[in-house]
Structure 1
Amino acid sequence: MLATVEQDIWIDAPVDVVWRTVTEPELVAQWFAIEADFAPTPGYEGTLTLGRTQEPRRVRVSVQSVEPPRSFSYRWLHPDGVPARTGTSVLVTFTLAPERDGTRLRVVETELDDMGWTPDELDRYLAEHTRGWAGHLGRLADQLTATRP
C-alpha cells in the first residue's frame, strides 16, 4: 500500500470562497503559511514560508494543475536547483466539492514512497503532516465560518 497523507473537512462556505482561500497567496497566508509567494498557474515556481508551529522555513512549490474551482495541486519539498518531479518532491492535491450548502475540502499528499526516506523518516512525515493538515484545515474552516454572514 502506498503511503499518503489524507485529510478532509466540511466547511460552511461556498466552493468559490474556499477555492480562493486555498489558491490566493494572501489568503493562504492567513491559515497555512506565514508567507505565500505563488500564483495558481500551472508551471509557476514559488515558495511557502512555513512555521506557525515550529521554526520558520521556506519551501519551494511548483504548481502542477489548476482546475477552478475543483482541484489545485503543487509539488513541494524539492531542493534548490532540483526540478520538482516524482522522487524529488511530494505532490499535494486539494479537491473541493459542494456538499450540504458548504464545501468538502480534501487534501492529499502522494508520492511519499518515492522520496527515498527511511521507514522512520516516512513514519515521522506521515504523523507530522496528518496532524499538521488537520490543524491547518481546522484553522481554515474556523476563519471562513467566522467571516460568514
Structure 2
Amino acid sequence: MEFGTLEREIYVGASPEIVFDVVSSPEHLKEWWPDDARYEATPGAEGEIVFGDPSAGGQVVQFTVVDAAPPRMFSFRWTHPAGDVAKEGNSLLVTFDLIPSGEGTLVKMTETGFREMGWEAAVLEAQYNDHATGWDYFLPRLPVYVATLEAHS
C-alpha cells in the first residue's frame, strides 16, 4: 500500500448547494464530524476543529480553508503545527468535490499529503490508517445529518 491518498465517495440525497453548506460551515460540520469547529469558510481563513474534550484527552486540530467554490468544491488543510502557516509538507489537504447526481449529490472526498509530511514509515502507515478509519466512520454520518435537515425544511 502506498499511504499517499485517501479517496472516498458517498451519495447524499440533497442538492450540491445544501451539501456545500454542510461540508463547509462550522455549524453544520460539527454535527457530523468534529465535536466543535471554529473558522470562517473563506479561503485563507484559519481556525480549529476539536475532537472530544481537550481537558480529557481530546484533540484540538489546526484548520485552514484553502478554497471554497460554492456549490462545487470545498478544501482545507489541517494537522499543521499551531502557529505555522498550512502548506504542503506540514499539513494534509482535504477536498470535497460535489457533483450533481440525479436528485442529489455525489461527494468525492480526497485527502492527500501523507507522504509529504516526512514521517518515518511506521508513523506514516499509522497516520494513514487512522485517517482512513476516521473517514470511514464519519463520512457515512454526512447523508444521515443532511436527511435531518431535509426533514425540517
The 2-side partners of 1:29 and 1:2 are apart by: 27
Task: Give the letter aligned to residue 15 of structure 1.
Answer: P
Q: Where does residue 64 of structure 2 map in the other structure?
A: 62
Q: Where does residue 95 of structure 2 map in the other structure?
A: 93
Q: Where does residue 44 of structure 2 map in the other structure?
A: 43
Q: Where does residue 146 of structure 2 map in the other structure?
A: 144
- Superposition RMSD on alpha carbons, in Å? 1.8
Partner deviation per Cα, 1:115-136 (whole Å, 9 max, x = no partner):
0111111111221211211221
Instruction: Give the gaps of 5 or more residues in structure 1.
Output: none
TM-score between the two structures when normalised by the length of structure 2: 0.89
TM-score between the two structures when normalised by the length of structure 1: 0.91
Q: Where does residue 107 of structure 1 map in the other structure?
A: 109
Alignment coverage as a number of residue pairs: 148
Task: Give the letter aligned to residue 132 of structure 1.
Answer: G
The 2-side partners of 1:104 and 1:55 are apart by: 35
Percent identity at matched positions?
A: 34
Matched, 1:80 2:82: yes
The 2-side partners of 1:116 and 1:51 are apart by: 27
Q: Where does residue 30 of structure 1 map in the other structure?
A: 31
Instruction: Give the gaps of 5 or more residues in structure 2.
Output: none
The change in CA–CA distance for 1:41 and 1:76 in structure 2 (over 3 A counts) is same
Q: CA deviation at 1:145?
A: 2.2
SS in 2 for 1:47: strand
The 2-side partners of 1:55 and 1:72 are apart by: 29
The 2-side partners of 1:61 and 1:120 are apart by: 25
SS in 2 for 1:148: helix
Matched, 1:117 2:119: yes
**Which stretches of structure 1, 4 residues or longer, exceed 6 Å deviation after superposition?**
none
The 2-side partners of 1:120 and 1:60 are apart by: 23
Q: Where does residue 9 of structure 1 map in the other structure?
A: 10
The 1-side partners of 2:63 and 2:86 are apart by: 8
Tell me if structure 1 keeps the 8 A contact 2:3–2:124.
no
Task: Give the letter aligned to residue 8 of structure 1.
Answer: E
